[in-house]
A = this chain, B = another copy of it.
Amino acid sequence: VDGKADPSQRRTTIYDLARIAGTSPSAVSSVLNGSWQKRRISRDLADRIKRVAEEQGYATNIQASLLRRTTSNIVGMIVPKYDNRYFGGIAEQFEALARQRGLFPVITCTQREPNLELEAAKELISYQVRCLIATGATDPDRITDLCAAAGVASINVDLPGTKAPSVISDNYAGGRDLTRLVLDRCTRDLDWTGPLVFVGGRASDHNTAERLRGFRDAHAERGIAVPNDHILVPGYSAEKAELALASVSPSGAALGLFVNSTISLEGVVRWIRSVVGPDVSNLRYGCFDWDPFAALLPGNVGMVQQDVPTMLGRAFELIEDGRTAAGTTLVPCVLRTL
């Protein structure tokens, strides 16, 4: 078993195993893929074959197996980044749920680049994925089109599309609840009623638009007007958030922020450090998405945790039910008060 790794050597096949065990390739195949009970192969032969396979360090060539079978058990996922708890959690959950179902999960990370998303989708389709979950995709419908052409089911998660089922957070309610919390804390702690500054994300992005709607409604229900210059949506990156905040002058007065993602929060915190300084007693903010360390930062009064297990559970249900019609499932978020 402890041979040198030598890619030139031909791997052991069922023919080798059959020769060694003194039987036929058919028998070996059915024993190793579990269909031998059905074929009423003797336990004796089955045991002998399994032993030989073990001894030879045999591993099935899945390419060959998949080629012959009509269906693969690979499920694919596209994810923008692994660099925050939200997407990291999505990747982990997806793997766990896929394995539970005997499926083989393949995840690919596309750096928020639309071209990479399409390339990755094509690649996964080439690997005969059974279905494809597009998470946080910038153009989910093009991915759905690609999948449809190949007869592959697709589901959108996190950001919705119009051509396949979508499972997303209730960003409106999440945005509204977080805004209410920050406004409450500003009133209680700073004796100041707002309006808050919204920072991070893109206006064209569905989730940002929904959270912004919640943000505006939470202000409106208290009769607070939100000036346009309080809405800073320059993109998700930390740098852009930090730059955008340059237009805000804290000037010693009270300040409240709605931070649209933990990615943006990194820039927000840098801005706080450099402009507001170490004393944040006049500052309160809340942030979308959960991060255990960010939850401990001074001034942070609440984070919105998206319910990843429920979202992915629902996505797998849709796959298993064979649902392909467009339609959006909203999953409530959890507001974690700090």
A67 touches B61 (CB 8 A): yes
Interface set, chain A 23-77, CB cutoff 8 A to B: 57, 59-64, 66-67, 71-72
How many A residues, CB 8 Å from partner?
71
A18 touches B (CB below 8 Å): no
Number of copies: 2
A 210-243 contacts with B by CB, 8 A: none
A57–B293 touching, CB < 8 Å = no
Is there an interface contact between A59 and B150, defined as CB atoms closer than 8 Å?
yes
Q: Is A128 touching B63 in the complex (CB atoms < 8 A)?
A: yes
CB distance from A227 to the nearest CB of B (A): 30
CB distance from A129 to the nearest CB of B (A): 11
Q: Per a CB cutoff under 8 Å, which of B61, B128, B292 touches A266?
A: B292
- Expressed in whole angstroms, the Cα–Cα distance for A9 and B71 within the complex equals 12
Which chain B residues lie closer than 8 Å to A334 at the CB level? none
Select A109's contact among B3, B92, B148, B154, beta carbons within 8 Å: B92
A75 to chain B, nearest CB (A): 13
A313 CA to B52 CA, complexed, in Å: 39
In the docked arrangement, what's the CA distance between A96 and B152, Å? 26
Which positions in A face B, CB cutoff 8 Å? 1-9, 11, 57, 59-64, 66-67, 71-72, 81-85, 88-89, 91-92, 95-96, 104-109, 111, 122-123, 125-128, 130, 145-154, 163-164, 262, 265-266, 269, 273, 291-294, 296-298, 324
